[in-house]
Structure 1
Amino acid sequence: MPHRPDPTAALTDLEGVPERYGPVAGAGLPDRLDAPLRLPDPPVAPRRGALPLVASAVPILGAVVLWAVTGTAMMLWFAALGPAIAAASLIDGARATRTARRRGALEAEGARRRVAAVVHARHDRERREAWTRHPDVLALTGDGARAGDIWRAGAGRGDELVVGRGVVRSIVQVDGGTADPASARLARMAAVLEDAPITVPCDAGIAVCGPEALARAVVRALALQACLLLPPDRLRVSPAVPARAERWVARLPHAQPGHAARRLVLCEAGMPAPAGALVIARIDPHTAPPPGCAAVITVTGIDRARLDHDGQSCDIRIEGISREQAEGLANALAARAEAAYGPFDDDGAISLDELLPGSAPDDARDLRVTIAREHGAPFDLDLVQDGPHAVVAGMTGAGKSELLTSWITALCARFSTHQVTFLLADFKGGTAFDRLESLAHVTGVITDLDGAGARRALQSLRAELRRREAEIVRAGAQDVTGTRLARLVIVVDEYAALTWAHPELDAVFTDIAARGRALGMHLILGTQRASGTFRDALLANCPLRISLRVSDPVDSRVLVGTDAAAALSGDVRRRGMALVRRAADDAPHTVRIALTSAALVEATAAAVRGETPRPTWLPALPERVTLGEAAALGGDPADGLTRSAHAAGDLLLGIADDPERQRRMPAVLPTAERGLCVIGAAGSGRSTLLETIAAQTADPIWISRDAEAAWDLIARLADEPTAAIGRLVLADDVDALLTRFPAEYAQALTERFERLVYAAGAGGPRIVLALQRAAGAAGRLAELLPRRVILRCTTRAEFVAAGGAPGDFDAEMPPGRALIDGRTVQIAVVPRARPAEPAGVDRWVPHADVTAVVTRGGPLGRAVEATAAAAGARVMSLDEYASRGMTGMASGAAPGIGSDAVTGIRPVVVIGDGEQWQRSWLALQAVRVSGDLLVDAACAPDYRMLTGERALAPYCEPGRGRAWLVRAGVPVVRVQLVLPADPR
């Protein structure tokens, strides 16, 4: 540290510092470093006194009065006293001003001296605290260093590295002293802190440039500083190229194989800097730093360097470590690590095939296997006697999955499939039990990658509980030992994730824990943290506790009653060390778990004894089911659409899954049901379900997807109730169909749909409607039907609106997969296509003597003229026709009736737009008496005005060349106006 005068020499004067200069602690140091210090403002110069005119004038007036009274001229000399008094007053005022100025200057200097002493004291304290927070190698290992500072845990410990000493901004504040140069210098001095640690975030990465020997010394100092701050279980040190590393690196405990939260990589010039690691690199001059290095230290002298970081540059004093010093520190850290974590096992890892006992006899009533060693001796675990349930805890990388794998493999190797079976649940990524699926004892593996399948499989556990209870009662036994049931071991890797994804299963496992001993069902529950994960009732029934290394002593105490599991080493060579505590143990046993190889699993699978066990649950429903497969199912009857037997007249829908009873059954639409609503997105299987239902009916009525045909059919069914009695009416894409109509037609169509649905049931039709979403008018129709089939929906909101539970939503449901009455159903398919669409609309040909045509002209007007000409009819405009009609009226003939008087051609086609016909009202009425009125569908606004009809005309879809043909006494019909470009 640079030499600086000892500021404590002036602290003896602090007792007299006024309170206005800042708070002062009793020992001479302020309580807070950032408490502001106040300097006095410069003294204000005293104002110059005014000339004493009155005092000067009194002697003069007195002298004049005395002269006037006495008549003596000598009295006038007293007048000279006035100027003398004035001069004396001015001299006295100047002297007082000089005295006040000198006193103010002395007081200000004293205040600055006292504040400077406080500033120096605060700087020393701030410097000490800064070096305590951010020590370098010298601060951690030099004279006066405390051994407890090495690897001391603390918030932010190791987040920053000290790259040198330099000047930083101080938190000491000095205010006041306005316009005083000396005070301003003091304030500037207080604002900076010299000889302070200059730090750089570890994540930034550091590149050291300069002479090779000096740069290497700086790299050693930085790397050793990180190793002194963080223990080996939190930091791993490795060179970018091991062959080029110095010897001291290999001696570090941080360089041993293992897992840690951080990785520090030492790079030399030209070596690649790996991504995702903390990098300290030595680079050659004029060489760009690696991409992972945001800070660059350029060595300029034996202890001098320049730091460039975050867009700023500053001079610093650096710290260097020689190779011999580095080796000594590495050896000391290795000895410290051995004392703290214990020596590594000499025997290394244990292979499970060394511990496997012989096969158990068929009448064995235990599940005893050897999967570990304690002080070199085999250590047994018996899930029956030591359990019946176990909890295994361990943080990531501690070896929890390896322990579960070894335990399962050992049980499968010793016991036959008649004695033990397994259900495995991996909620830690889906790969922990991949290699165990080949074991015949394993009846199923479920993962968090299949949420619906996991929930379905675990729901089957309730059915397994009931089945085992029934078997024990049937055998007249007290527990599973009196039956032929195999013990079922349920292994869960990451129980917390399982219950978070499916909270309702926590109660299922608690029930199994309470009744599992008698029923032969055992739990092995793995978790990273034990505290807060298990219910008290569940944990109380799991007396077998195994704890690998955990991060929190609380977890260790919850499982094994001591903090020892939190103190286990995180070194890879200590992986698999665990503490085991059984119900009869007074203290936990420290064991080393054996590891299982893939070859051992394959050999165990090949040497299996016993037949393939009964699966714990039925496999998932297939994605394709035929109508014959659904009809082949039978059993006891049940209520609702999903039932295990169907009567005559019931319509089969598919196969329903009932995991809680471990069975499948047909899903049907009973004869008594008057209707069904099918809701699902495009491609979900709506049309398939309608075709399956239609295939089982002799004469179904399909609502056409064509808007015009659908209007006509629904109108006929609604107006003629007897037309659909006893028949099945099916309508697909109802919501899409309604949106194709204008508002007036859509409302009328919805009302007719409602009348049709109300008429469904006994004595009426059965209605099956399919729609994409239950909203708007289609949603109101869906509410009128008693049952729903919910297929895949686009969003959760649409699924809930359709009547599904939020937790049952699955955006990946395959086509034909549905929910009916809360059960999963696969819709059956039939090899039958949808019936053909109805024939098209009849073409218009003039037949009446006179046909009045209402059109706006254009292509349709030309189409009418062409059609009339082809039929041999006379075509004329309304004006021409009206004039001829008036001539006929003059001779007594009715206007507009009969043939053309000039040519004798009949029939006659008169063309005009809506306004023209309204002006020629008499001609229009005459035509309507015995002729035809043809209204272009594009003139829909004029239809009611010209026809006087209040009811809606048959719907005509725009752009299809449609028109309405109106005849007296005959219902309005829809006709086709063939355009000239029509190929027909």
Structure 2
Amino acid sequence: MTESSLPDPRISLPAPPQAPAPFRFPVVAAIVPVVASVAIWLITGSAFALVFAALGPLAATGSYVDSRITARKTKRVERARFSADVATTSGEIRTYHRRELSELEERTPTAIMLVNDVLTDASRWMREPDDVLPVHLGYGNVRSSLAIDRAGVHDSAPREVHDAYRGLTEQAEYVSCAPIAVNARLGIALFGNNLMALSLARSLAIQLARTLAPTSSWVRLTGVFAAETWGERLPHRLLRSNGHSEQPSHEGSAGSEIASVHWGALGNASPRVSITVVSEEKQVPSGHRIVIRTNAEGIAVVRHPDRHQRRDFEPSLLGREQALVWARAAHDIAARDGLASGDHTLPGSLAFDELDKRPRTVHGSALERRKSLVAHPAVTASGALAIDLVGDGPHAIVGGTTGSGKSELLIAWVLAMAAETSPDDVTFLLIDFKGGSAFAGLTQLPHTVGIITDLDEAAAARAFASLRAELRHRERVLAMAGARDISELTNEPRLVIVVDEFAAMMADYPQLHALFSDIAARGRSLGVHLILCTQRPSGVVRDALLANADLRISLRVNNGADSSAVIGSDRAAELPADAKGRAWVAHGSSSADLVQFALVTPQDITAVAERWPVTGPPRRPWCEPLSEHVSLGTVLAALGEERDGDNSNSVSSDVLHFGMTDLPELQRHGIAGWSPLDDGHLLLLGASGSGKTTALTTLAHVSAAEVTVMSAEPAAFWDSLAIAYGRLDFSDEAAYPLQPTHLVIDDIDAVLARFDDEYRPVVVERLTRVLREGPANSIWVIASAQRITAPLQSLSPLMPSVLRLHFSNRQDFVLSGGASENFVANLPAGGGLWKGNRLQIAESAEYLPVAERVLTATLNPDHHVVVASSRPAASVAAFAAAGWEIRNVDGAPGAERDLIISPSGASSPIALIGSVDEWQSRWGALATLRSHATVVLDGCSLSDYRQLARTRELPPPLTGGAREYWRLSDSGQTQRVRVSHRTPEAD
């Protein structure tokens, strides 16, 4: 132990109890008051003065009594203080001894401590001692370095004080149950009980192996030690004679054998350290200056150059199996750090081209080779490492912390398999959830069927959906061939799925736990293998998957728990940080091998790729993604093929096929179809530019029914709706056959917004009835909208089929009724979701049919007209220009009829024009004139209309900007009309 690591090695004894100060009775103080009192009495003659004579003795007596009490109290306090100081000093001694014990245990730990800790600090081999080589023998009393300072201690102190001092001095002199260490360079011999001596010698040998560097020393075992297997596992070079461990010469009585462990420096034939076990003391060889007795008399050091070291002790023993555990761990650690003295050591780094140049011997037929995936991506201390994912797996778990070389390991392993196995026999699906750059170079390999990254969520989701279909595909192939295992087939390659950052993938797609567990359970027979790489497999890779992953590889990890989760021991936690690609490989229940994986360059990948002639792209486990542009001809051609190949004729002719769907779970594309009879009305939702009009155009052109494209102008929309609405009440099918009709409404939300508050509720009510009763009358609505507005909230539930196209954000998508998890942010124009599948709408070369025009009649210029106008001057100009003779309403009420029936001097039909107020003042005049002339309302509000027409029904809306009028008929129906010639607006 070093002085600097311990506190002050001197402890002072506590000061003895202090005696109380001496005290005598105050005689003078007692007499002086008496004399003074007598003198006062003599002078004054007052007897009261004699009273003061008693005060002096009383005060002196009280002072004396108080001093005695104080002296006894002081004595008790000092004794208590001394006892406390003794206890404190004793505690300080114990504390110092504990620190001495800690120093001694750290300097020379017991062999059993080394075994329990297992992990050998390789750095100890870097600072090998030169002169003193301490080894731990056992436990006993060891002289302490603590010194007692007796300054201030007097011989006159009471006996009990000297007894306390003696106890403290004896306590400080020795450390009890302390580690006893000796210098092994002096040579150690043991005699007596052979079993106990061997156990103690084994303990000493393991301590020396921990201290002496394997690269600079050798070990020679003799006698019974030569037969103990733990010696074979030491990382040090084992000296042999004729291929066997050397046996020592016999000394002493016949039949006795000397067992020795000799240590020597490389290049030096003579041992520098020796531990020898003999039967009797007289057999101790020369050069052993420390002799230990182990017999019934006790265990003790009986010879030592320092007589103070000759003592009894409790030995620290070690069994053979315990020594073997430590020797194995030490050998692995020495090999890991390049310190092993064996003939083969791991390189600090390994180039793949050097590894790939090593000769390979391929055995067996092609069918036999299909039963394995042997690859050589790494080396051990004794040569190339062969990993067979089929035989050792069928699945593998790879662990390693950041920077340990996980991606490099996976690339080397994949390339090694590709170098030795044809693309006809194995393909690779690479999943990189670290950005996608790690596996980019492997796309050159003809074996690679695709790379899935976290940068394209849509592509990743469809690829994962296809994996389950891949399992079903392989099951069908096996069933059709009558085979039980994929290795029996010659036309179906194995699929190796390599996942870098498995934890990140599971965090983004937690639903994949079930899929990967399924692959793990059935992958062996189906030829689907998993290589899952993650930083911390514990808690990420579930037990169902771990149970089928017998091949475990661990690069450097941060703690022993992570290492144990992969390879069953904490060895990977001790791998050096700068040894990239250094790993432990465990094959099932066998012990782990320390290996160095190769580093791959782009040239290595190119060289392997060029070995295999490209006969065609490998079969991918998923179909190609949908094109952003699908022609209607492509859809119709696919439909024709489907009908030709469908012997059951299940393809319905009433379905409108308008695009292609992505069916990754079936590994194919489908044809999107809308069946009015089965699906009901169709609503297309999406942002501006999402392809709504394209979809309507395609649907209109593939429809075999009558297509009515409803105008966005309120007047024309009203007329088209009125026709459909009127058809609901028409029951004479013979006169009006129910021909299937598709009402096409583009941007229905915008159309409804263009109606004012008077018309909009009526339009919504009529649309509601059309949606409810239309299918029974062969009427179906196909509408599009950007969003579900307030008027649409009552209509959208009546349109059960919804095609959702691109939305600007997730919130709008959810408000449209879509599930948040189905939102796709980067859909192209024409892309959407239809019946749960990704859709791309077919593009037609045609345009959307022309919308229905407004139904406006032309006034007969040969008939008289009566005009109620909110703008009389404009009405006069318009009708005059069209050829009517203008008459203004005047005179008394009732004369209006005469102006029409008996016109004086009229050469042409008359237009009797008055203001709205004038006609309202002539109550009943318009109703009377209906039988003699056409009644027209010009520019009237709905309130004026209702008063003049005497009805609550709404008239058809007028086209904005056009010279249109309402014409009242005797039947109560109001029509929209215009004159044959119109002049520019005068108002």
User: How does the TM-score come out when normalised to structure 2?
Assistant: 0.59
- Asked whether 1:684 is paired with 2:682, we answer no
What is the aligned partner in structure 2 of residue 119 from structure 1?
none
Correspondent of 1:973 among 969, 972, 975: 975
Residue deviations 1:961-980 (CA, integer Å, cap 9, x gap)? 54322243473222358885
The offset of 1:343, in angstroms, is 7.3
What is the aligned partner in structure 2 of residue 535 from structure 1?
542
**Contact between 2:696 and 2:848, CA under 8 Å: does it hold in 1?**
no
SS in 2 for 1:542: coil
What is the aligned partner in structure 2 of residue 279 from structure 1?
none
* Partner Cα separation in structure 2 for residue 982 and residue 567 of structure 1: 95
Report the aligned-residue RMSD.
3.5
Correspondent of 2:810 among 793, 796, 799: 796
* Distance change >3 Å, CA 749–CA 347, structure 1 → 2: same
Structure number with greater Rg is: 2
What is the aligned partner in structure 1 of residue 468 from structure 2?
462
Give the letter aligned to residue 745 of structure 2.
Answer: A
**Contact between 1:644 and 1:666, CA under 8 Å: does it hold in 2?**
no
* Distance change >3 Å, CA 839–CA 728, structure 1 → 2: closer
State how 1:400-439 maps to structure 2 within 5 Å: 400-439=406-445
Correspondent of 1:675 among 681, 690, 702: 681
* Partner Cα separation in structure 1 for residue 957 and residue 700 of structure 2: 27
What is the aligned partner in structure 2 of residue 756 from structure 1?
770
What is the aligned partner in structure 2 of residue 580 from structure 1?
585
* Distance change >3 Å, CA 979–CA 437, structure 1 → 2: farther
Give the letter aligned to residue 349 of structure 1.
Answer: S
What is the aligned partner in structure 2 of residue 659 from structure 1?
664
Residue deviations 1:935-968 (CA, integer Å, cap 9, x gap)? 3456223111111122111023555554322243
Correspondent of 1:934 among 933, 936, 944: 936
* Distance change >3 Å, CA 671–CA 875, structure 1 → 2: closer
What is the aligned partner in structure 2 of residue 494 from structure 1?
501
**Contact between 2:346 and 2:595, CA under 8 Å: does it hold in 1?**
no
* Partner Cα separation in structure 2 for residue 492 and residue 429 of structure 1: 12
**Contact between 2:707 and 2:743, CA under 8 Å: does it hold in 1?**
yes
Residue deviations 1:411-438 (CA, integer Å, cap 9, x gap)? 1111001111111111111222111112
Give the letter aligned to residue 602 of structure 2.
Answer: A
Greater alpha carbon shift after TM alignment, 613-622 vs 752-761: 752-761
What is the aligned partner in structure 1 of residue 524 from structure 2?
517
SS in 2 for 1:672: helix
**Contact between 2:377 and 2:597, CA under 8 Å: does it hold in 1?**
yes
* Partner Cα separation in structure 2 for residue 477 and residue 845 of structure 1: 85
What is the aligned partner in structure 1 of residue 747 from structure 2?
733
* Distance change >3 Å, CA 438–CA 665, structure 1 → 2: same
The offset of 1:616, in angstroms, is 1.1
- Asked whether 1:560 is paired with 2:560, we answer no
State how 1:853-932 maps to structure 2 within 5 Å: 853-857=867-871, 862-875=873-886, 881-883=889-891, 885=892, 889=895, 894=897, 896-898=899-901, 901=904, 906-912=909-915, 914-921=916-923, 923-932=925-934
Greater alpha carbon shift after TM alignment, 355-364 vs 441-450: 355-364
* Partner Cα separation in structure 2 for residue 799 and residue 862 of structure 1: 53
**Contact between 1:358 and 1:414, CA under 8 Å: does it hold in 2?**
no
Aligned residues: 631
**Contact between 2:392 and 2:551, CA under 8 Å: does it hold in 1?**
yes
SS in 2 for 1:395: coil
The offset of 1:518, in angstroms, is 1.3
* Distance change >3 Å, CA 635–CA 863, structure 1 → 2: closer
* Partner Cα separation in structure 2 for residue 961 and residue 433 of structure 1: 71
Give the letter aligned to residue 666 of structure 1.
Answer: I
SS in 1 for 2:792: helix
State how 1:82-231 maps to structure 2 within 5 Å: none
* Partner Cα separation in structure 2 for residue 976 and residue 478 of structure 1: 83
What is the aligned partner in structure 2 of residue 605 from structure 1?
609
- Asked whether 1:544 is paired with 2:555, we answer no
Percent identical across equivalent pairs?
A: 36
Residue deviations 1:496-536 (CA, integer Å, cap 9, x gap)? 12122222111100100111111111001111222221111
Residue deviations 1:563-598 (CA, integer Å, cap 9, x gap)? 333333333xx2222222221322x33222111110
SS in 2 for 1:825: strand
Correspondent of 1:648 among 624, 638, 653: 653
The offset of 1:895, in angstroms, is 5.4
What is the aligned partner in structure 2 of residue 353 from structure 1?
353
**Contact between 1:854 and 1:934, CA under 8 Å: does it hold in 2?**
yes
Greater alpha carbon shift after TM alignment, 552-561 vs 506-515: 552-561
**Contact between 1:854 and 1:939, CA under 8 Å: does it hold in 2?**
no
The offset of 1:921, in angstroms, is 2.7
SS in 2 for 1:677: strand
* Partner Cα separation in structure 2 for residue 711 and residue 874 of structure 1: 33
Residue deviations 1:213-237 (CA, integer Å, cap 9, x gap)? xxxxxxxxxxxxxxxxxxxxxxxxx
- Asked whether 1:614 is paired with 2:619, we answer yes
What is the aligned partner in structure 1 of residue 784 from structure 2?
770
**Contact between 1:705 and 1:732, CA under 8 Å: does it hold in 2?**
yes
The offset of 1:720, in angstroms, is 2.1
* Partner Cα separation in structure 1 for residue 406 and residue 859 of structure 2: 86
* Partner Cα separation in structure 2 for residue 982 and residue 395 of structure 1: 83
SS in 2 for 1:353: helix
**Contact between 1:849 and 1:899, CA under 8 Å: does it hold in 2?**
no
Correspondent of 1:784 among 782, 798, 812: 798
* Distance change >3 Å, CA 463–CA 555, structure 1 → 2: same
Query: For structure 1, which runs of at least 5 residues remain unmatched after alignment?
Result: 1-11, 13-150, 152-337
State how 1:237-386 maps to structure 2 within 5 Å: 347-356=347-356, 358=360, 362-363=366-367, 364=369, 365-375=371-381, 377-386=383-392
* Partner Cα separation in structure 2 for residue 668 and residue 346 of structure 1: 64
SS in 2 for 1:700: strand
* Distance change >3 Å, CA 382–CA 982, structure 1 → 2: farther
**Contact between 2:743 and 2:782, CA under 8 Å: does it hold in 1?**
yes
Give the letter aligned to residue 793 of structure 1.
Answer: F
What is the aligned partner in structure 1 of residue 839 from structure 2?
825
The offset of 1:709, in angstroms, is 0.9
* Partner Cα separation in structure 1 for residue 595 and residue 985 of structure 2: 90
* Partner Cα separation in structure 2 for residue 449 and residue 899 of structure 1: 87
The offset of 1:896, in angstroms, is 4.4
SS in 2 for 1:897: helix
The offset of 1:714, in angstroms, is 0.8
What is the aligned partner in structure 1 of residue 952 from structure 2?
950
**Contact between 1:846 and 1:868, CA under 8 Å: does it hold in 2?**
no
* Partner Cα separation in structure 1 for residue 985 and residue 338 of structure 2: 95
**Contact between 2:380 and 2:594, CA under 8 Å: does it hold in 1?**
yes
* Partner Cα separation in structure 2 for residue 844 and residue 462 of structure 1: 68
* Partner Cα separation in structure 1 for residue 346 and residue 473 of structure 2: 50
* Partner Cα separation in structure 2 for residue 544 and residue 925 of structure 1: 99
**Contact between 1:359 and 1:415, CA under 8 Å: does it hold in 2?**
no
Residue deviations 1:352-398 (CA, integer Å, cap 9, x gap)? 12112559563312111111122373222211122111111223322
- Asked whether 1:475 is paired with 2:481, we answer yes
The offset of 1:463, in angstroms, is 1.1
The offset of 1:843, in angstroms, is 8.2
**Contact between 1:850 and 1:898, CA under 8 Å: does it hold in 2?**
no
* Distance change >3 Å, CA 575–CA 757, structure 1 → 2: same
SS in 2 for 1:930: coil
Greater alpha carbon shift after TM alignment, 575-584 vs 958-967: 958-967
* Distance change >3 Å, CA 751–CA 550, structure 1 → 2: same
Correspondent of 1:448 among 454, 462, 481: 454
* Partner Cα separation in structure 1 for residue 593 and residue 788 of structure 2: 62
* Partner Cα separation in structure 2 for residue 506 and residue 386 of structure 1: 23
Greater alpha carbon shift after TM alignment, 417-426 vs 937-946: 937-946
